[in-house]
Amino acid sequence: MLTSLLLSSAGFDQHPNLQQTEHARLPRGKVVLQRIRGMQGQGYYLYIPRTCGANSPLMISVHGVSRNARQHAALLAPLAERFGVVLVAPLFTQQLFPDYQRLGRLGRGPRADLALDQIIGDVLYKTACDFKRLYLFGYSGGGQFAHRYAMAHPERVGGVVVGAAGWYTFPDASIRFPRGNAASAELNSLHFDAERYLRVPMSVVVGSEDNKRDAELNKSARIDKQQGLNRLQRGENWIMAMRRQAEVRGLATPYSIETMPGIRHSFKDGMQSGQLGERIFRLLFDHKTTAAETYSLRKDHCAIAADPLALYTDIKPELQYGNQAAGKQPW
């Protein structure tokens, strides 16, 4: 279901001749930069573990406003290798995706959730893996994107870890998106169904010292009143709200929050000193054994081939995009 849906969204069902071309094999055990045909240079970092099999899970790691997708891929790759997880770190540039945290509202650039769908379709085509569900992690602004994507497309998501998001979409149908999940004219094609998204396990991981009202924090009076005064309070209140709404519906979906002692608002510090990476993979994949024990190691199933017009390249710090008018999608 997921495979056919996202391959279609990426346009590969419309180009059967692509699979008949001579392919260059994607490397395993190395972070590579990929670009997508027809998307104005849209790129993502990809890591395929050496133990990759046909049923290896797919994890998406979404950057914050610093756009450090390369750092996400590089720091999380060793854990992806250990767990046998295909890792994708999309790059949402400021120029093209100024509102990616809120999925891309009307007049604020293209839809970031649809861009991720095309990225996943590209990964499916290039690896031939059969991903049943996505597993999402995002840090700061990426955490905003991750939980909103899961609430908008719950049938695609197996679990979410939100790293120190600045603010959240609460399970409240009386408040319009993005503060609540009521319909919004700014994102009128999406319908948020609490009965469905409250079945997706979600966790928050935040530093114990991430309690400052820094320049990047949304300090709206409405957000303060609804969610709390800092990232720590807001994460706690959102988890409690999600748990409460799930319980009202008779759902036992796990929702949890973990704090990293002594860590402020820094993805790098969390990874280096707060065991952030270990926490992410434990929360998302601890119910699975390691890839070497669980997944088929048939070498012909994963990392099959790159599109000959978008062969993998060396890692580069950023991608360049042509100018795009606000609200117009280039694909």
Q: What is the spatial order of strands in the sheet that 157-163 belongs to?
A: 31-35, 43-47, 86-90, 58-62, 134-139, 157-163, 202-207, 255-260
Instruction: Spell out the SS3 assignment of 25-49.
Output: CCCCCCEEEEECCCCCCCEEEEECC
In this predicted structure, the answer to whether residue 268 has a pLDDT above a threshold of 80 is: yes
Q: Output the domain CATH number for residue 203.
A: 3.40.50.1820
Worst-scoring range by mean pLDDT, 10-24, 66-80, 107-121, 283-297?
10-24
Whether 306 is in a domain gets the answer: no
Whether 80 is in a domain gets the answer: yes
pLDDT per residue as tens digits for the range 73-112: 999 999 999 999 999 999 999 988 999 999 988 777 789 9
Residue 287's pLDDT is 60
Q: Work out the percent of the chain whose per-residue pLDDT is above 90.
A: 66
The alpha carbon of 4 is separated from its chain's Cα centroid by a whole number of angstroms, namely 19
Whether 68 is in a domain gets the answer: yes
Instruction: Name the H helices within the chain.
Output: 2-9, 69-83, 112-127, 141-152, 194-197, 221-227, 231-248, 267-273, 276-285, 291-294
Q: Work out the percent of the chain whose per-residue pLDDT is above 70.
A: 78
Whether 244 is in a domain gets the answer: yes
In this predicted structure, the answer to whether residue 269 has a pLDDT above a threshold of 90 is: yes
pLDDT confidence band for 274 (50 / 70 / 90): very high
Domain that holds residue 34: 2-11+29-294
CB neighbour list of residue 189: distance below 8 Å, 6 or more residues apart: none
Whether 18 is in a domain gets the answer: no
Higher-pLDDT residue of 119, 22 = 119
In this predicted structure, the answer to whether residue 315 has a pLDDT above a threshold of 50 is: no
Query: What proportions of the chain, in percent to the nearest 5, are helix, strand and coil?
Result: 35, 15, 50
pLDDT per residue as tens digits for the range 37-54: 776 668 999 999 998 887
Geometric angle at alpha carbon 74, from 299 and 63, rounded to 5°: 115
Domain count, the chain: 1
286 vs 271: CA distance, rounded Å: 18
Coil/strand/helix, residue 304: coil
CB neighbour list of residue 203: distance below 8 Å, 6 or more residues apart: 159, 160, 161, 162, 239, 254, 255, 256, 257, 258, 283
Residue 265's pLDDT is 98
Whether 232 is in a domain gets the answer: yes
92 vs 40: CA distance, rounded Å: 12
Q: Considering the chain, what is the average pLDDT of its residues?
A: 82
Instruction: Spell out the SS3 assignment of 214-276.
Output: CCCCCCCHHHHHHHCCCHHHHHHHHHHHHHHHHHHCCCCCCEEEEEECCCCCCHHHHHHHCCH
- Residue type present at position 54: A
Whether 311 is in a domain gets the answer: no
**pLDDT mean over 208-215:** 96
How is residue 323 annotated by DSSP?
A: -
Contact status, residue 260 vs residue 53, Cβ threshold 8 Å: no
In this predicted structure, the answer to whether residue 120 has a pLDDT above a threshold of 60 is: yes
Higher-pLDDT residue of 319, 183 = 183
Residue 99's pLDDT is 92
244 vs 100: CA distance, rounded Å: 28
In this predicted structure, the answer to whether residue 5 has a pLDDT above a threshold of 60 is: no
**At CB < 8 A and 24+ separation, what contacts does 248-253 make?**
249/194, 249/195, 249/198, 251/198, 251/199, 253/198, 253/199, 253/200, 253/201, 253/202
pLDDT per residue as tens digits for the range 126-185: 888 888 899 999 999 999 999 999 999 999 999 999 999 999 999 999 999 999 999 888
pLDDT confidence band for 310 (50 / 70 / 90): very low
Residue 319's pLDDT is 35
Higher-pLDDT residue of 155, 23 = 155
pLDDT per residue as tens digits for the range 233-251: 999 999 999 999 999 999 9
Whether 119 is in a domain gets the answer: yes
Residue 303's pLDDT is 36
CB neighbour list of residue 278: distance below 8 Å, 6 or more residues apart: 79
Residue 307's pLDDT is 34
